[in-house]
Structure 1
Amino acid sequence: MHEELLSLLPRSEFTRRGFVVTSLATGFALAVQPVTAETVTTDTDGLEAGEVKITTADGEMPAYRAMPAKGDKFPVVLVVQEIFGVHEHIKDICRRFAKLGYLAVAPELYARQGDVSKLTEFPEILKIVATVPDSQVMSDLDATVAWAKKSGKGDTSKLAVTGFCWGGRIVWLYAAHSKDVKAGVAWYGRLTSAVDDLHPKHPLDLVTSLKAPVLGLYGAEDMGIPNDTVEMMQAALKETKQPSEIVLYPKTPHGFHADYRPSYRKTEADDGWNRLQAWFKQHGVSP
């Protein structure tokens, strides 16, 4: 959505000062209120779902997890938040995965920098998001995988990652970072932009470093992710013979999977969700 504006903000210095966010937001982020009539709500029947704490190198990070109430050794899906943090929509996506038989977990990856769910102005949200280092995010996702393994419920030999908007870019980065992830699905994540000390590389810079296949789902009318950058990524993947793929939906905006926002496009969202499940199955991370 407004993630493309991050590159326009001044470089931010990062100092660890502990966790600002110690529990997750309730409901939807204030910046996206009111939610639309098409908002999907997934119940918790047959699920174990709720907030958990994940131990990181410097403290405890809040996260939302959902999984079937019975059984264990579930395939694990890391769900990476939109620019709005882990609010109700991201929690609902975790429950959707749990209904399919996964252990899905969404860590609050801005927990040290601030609670964007309480902000209504996008420039204020962007100021916080711009201070989140990629290295911190990679470390926190590693800690989330370790948490899932230690829980005894997750089978981290079947590890997948998916993310939306800000999180879509992170999917590509994590697929280049982690030797354990088996498949990724990136929903409309930025592919290239200006670099700085906290964000030294973007997906286009990491094509040859991908350790897992990524399916990219993008909209041709995304005002923040120009089609030429998508085409550049497609060409780079083809040239390096990477098994990753990108689908570019015609006449489709950014945020087309976000059913709680006006950008939602049901046909493309449903198609993308079906493609995600098939991609995970193809690469051995389905229940």
Structure 2
Amino acid sequence: MSDHNSFSTEDRRRFLLASLAAGFALTVRPVTASTIVTDSAGLSVGPVFIPSANGDIPAYQAHPANAGAPLPTVLVIQEIFGVHEHIQDVCRRLAKLGYLAIAPDLFARQGDPRQYNDIPTLQKELVAKVPDAQVLADLDAALQWAARNGGDPARVAITGFCWGGRITWLYAAHNPHLKAAVAWYGRLVGQPSTNMPRHPLDVAAELKAPVLGLYGGRDQGIGLDTVQAMQTALKRAEVANKIIVYEDAGHAFNADYRPSYHAAAARDGWMEMLGWFRRHGV
């Protein structure tokens, strides 16, 4: 007889899907009036489950409805706040441009970041417990899912924000099939740990895909000295790379739902990202 307190597969799926519900993480409420909302007209959007070696993980996906030919695919990598409304909106924006955009919940095994009330606790109790190796494997699984569900495996890119910006650099050094990567204000240096043994500066010479880095000149958490160190290290890379620094922007300048939003830098960064994708065949 099964334990009445056991967590069934269906219960687990319902629990995981809660992390993709509409709305914003508690840590970033209230949202600002500048929040961009992209509708889903002409799109197929919603949650899916991605099979992986360590169990299914939920993801939010968006792509043009009734797409014929396989679509170029973009992995969208979350901030520390999870796959909340802003990340889902980024997916819809890309889908409106003809991409299959997919944002896997990369914290799913460790917890739901949307339920934390303050950033320090979220960082300590959840984010720090997520191993880079697990994340990279889950991103591989997400691209495999995309290839089976309308994505073109020959045209794949990645973009990520803050925590996801750091992951974007790491994934560009991990996957030789990636065509392009755009990292938004991702941390470049750090102390090695069991879960985070290497950082972007450590893998700069190992990049396998062209990377565009977008940074704020007034970012209080990512010093310009580390950006300059990365630019020096990137001279050893064998693939195209570029870092743009928006002098008047701070951290999270693309986060239109937060006071950190810098509209001019966000708009220019978005166009630079799209141009980088096109230039490298995605």
State how 1:1-287 maps to structure 2 within 5 Å.
22-23=16-17, 24-72=20-68, 73-127=70-124, 128-151=126-149, 153-240=150-237, 242-285=239-282
Which amino acid is the alignment partner of residue 131 of structure 2?
Answer: P
Query: Partners in 2 of 1:239 and 1:110 — Cα distance?
Result: 32
Which amino acid is the alignment partner of residue 26 of structure 1?
Answer: A
Conservation of the 8 A alpha-carbon contact between 2:209 and 2:239: no
How far 1:111 moved relative to its partner?
A: 0.2
Unpaired runs of 5+ in structure 1? Answer: 1-17
Query: Partners in 1 of 2:21 and 2:114 — Cα distance?
Result: 6
Query: Partners in 1 of 2:13 and 2:234 — Cα distance?
Result: 38
Query: Partners in 2 of 1:75 and 1:85 — Cα distance?
Result: 24
TM-score normalised by length of structure 1: 0.91
TM-score normalised by length of structure 2: 0.92
Query: Partners in 2 of 1:19 and 1:202 — Cα distance?
Result: 32
Classify the secondary structure of the residue corresponding to 1:215.
strand
Which amino acid is the alignment partner of residue 150 of structure 1?
Answer: R
How far 1:237 moved relative to its partner?
A: 1.1
Query: Partners in 1 of 2:30 and 2:95 — Cα distance?
Result: 27
C-alpha change, 1:258 and 1:90, in structure 2 (3 Å) is same
C-alpha change, 1:21 and 1:220, in structure 2 (3 Å) is farther
Conservation of the 8 A alpha-carbon contact between 1:63 and 1:105: yes
Query: Partners in 2 of 1:19 and 1:234 — Cα distance?
Result: 43
CA deviation vs aligned residue, 1:58-110 (integer Å, no higher than 9, x gap):
21101000000021411000000001000000000000000000000000000
How far 1:238 moved relative to its partner?
A: 2.3
Query: Partners in 1 of 2:173 and 2:26 — Cα distance?
Result: 33
Conservation of the 8 A alpha-carbon contact between 1:167 and 1:189: yes
Answer with 159-168 or 54-63: which moved more: 54-63
Q: Between Structure 1 and Structure 2, how many residues are aligned? A: 267
How far 1:220 moved relative to its partner?
A: 0.8
Unpaired runs of 5+ in structure 2? Answer: 1-11
Classify the secondary structure of the residue corresponding to 1:79.
strand
How far 1:239 moved relative to its partner?
A: 4.4
Conservation of the 8 A alpha-carbon contact between 2:185 and 2:252: yes
Higher relative contact order, structure no. (Cα contacts within 8 Å, ≥ 6 residues apart): 1
